[in-house]
Structure 1
């Protein structure tokens, strides 16, 4: 059961890092804001206004459509290198990027409590995951 819990947590980190690396290691990346103009097919698009040195303005960048993205609003973003794909930045972007880890913490807490009978560890994992999910929900609103 310990190996299963570790695998769940590893999968949560792996799933989160794909996006979190762009937000957390933003130094040297193109940062700016995007005003969402339209959303269709799971993607929202809008013009990019740079705020970092070396970034250039773009007429259209893509931001993944989610409950956290609304048409007509402006969001702080970081562009993935060599693409027009944008990722939310700032505290809301960091918390949103780590959502898969929050879910993995909740799932691992059930495995640890039920399979390993380590209730205190399970409570720590569960409360950490719930706290991360709650903080992300509050931050992206």
Structure 2
């Protein structure tokens, strides 16, 4: 018959494993959600082959979006009198931005290095959130600090790039 001491040590080991498995799953789900949220825009910016590329001259901003005329730069792209870009990208009236047109719409997303950084911004937020789970839930404070610092650096660089 097992002693009470060995039974409690086994229980503690099982609980410790369960906590780590649960927190590891939560951290992984947070990161997967960040990738999922980013990919909706990122694939337009990163996989530009065959997509319409050009510039937008921002003419008007209202209700969270900006609009202006689109001037094509790639072959097969057609000029448009009005395309729409998200206002959260840090655009100002009169500014000329390089963009990629989302297929089948008049919506554009910023291209180039700043567009890539901005597209993956949800993943940077997921890194910040996952760092808390890793540091506290998994009891890996150093790894949590590294993950959090990476997310913070990403957010900061993105802010500076789209300004």
TM range (shorter): over 0.9
1:29 aligns with 2:51: yes
1:117 aligns with 2:139: yes
Q: Give the direction of change, closer, same or farther, for the CA distance of 1:15–1:120 in structure 2 (3 Å limit).
A: same
Q: TM-score, normalised by structure 2?
A: 0.84
Which one has a bigger Cα radius of gyration?
2
* Structure 2 residue matching 1:76: 3-state secondary structure: strand
Choose which of 103, 108, 111 in structure 1 pairs with 2:125: 103
Offset of 1:69 from its aligned partner?
1.2
**How many Å separate the matches in 2 of 1:90 and 1:22?**
11
* Structure 2 residue matching 1:66: 3-state secondary structure: helix
Moved over 2 A (4+): none
- CA deviation digits over 1:10-48, x for unaligned, max 9? 111111111001000011100000001001121111000
**How many Å separate the matches in 2 of 1:67 and 1:29?**
20
Structure 1 runs not aligned, ≥5 long: none
**How many Å separate the matches in 1 of 2:80 and 2:43?**
22
Structure with more contact order per residue of length (Cα contacts < 8 Å, sep ≥ 6): 1
Structure 2 runs not aligned, ≥5 long: 1-22
**How many Å separate the matches in 1 of 2:133 and 2:97?**
37
Q: TM-score, normalised by structure 1?
A: 0.97
Bigger fraction of residues in helix: 2
Task: Check conservation: 2:89, 2:118, Cα contact below 8 A.
Answer: no
Choose which of 58, 64, 68 in structure 2 pairs with 1:46: 68
Choose which of 54, 59, 66 in structure 1 pairs with 2:88: 66
* Structure 1 residue matching 2:136: 3-state secondary structure: helix
**How many Å separate the matches in 2 of 1:43 and 1:126?**
30
